[in-house]
Amino acid sequence: MVEVKADHIMDACGLYCPEPVMLLHNKVREMTSGQVLQVLATDPSTQRDIPKFCTFLGHELIAQDADEERFFYYIRKGE
């Protein structure tokens, strides 16, 4: 598992597309530039959606990881 210090954690476990990305969008709006968000999710589509979200909106996907049950994403908010 990746070790990154997160300023915020967002739990999207049990939610399905498009809910995790909708919550992510709202959460990132509340953050300041440079802060790191850890996202926990169970929906496999987040493996595609979250990297695209970051690329499209200019945020840095620092790392992504998974265990048997969840996907983990670490996102640094862009300018």
Active site amino acids: 17
25 vs 54: CA distance, rounded Å: 10
Whether the CB-CB separation of 37 and 75 falls below 8 Å is answered with: yes
Structure tokens at 60: 């840095």
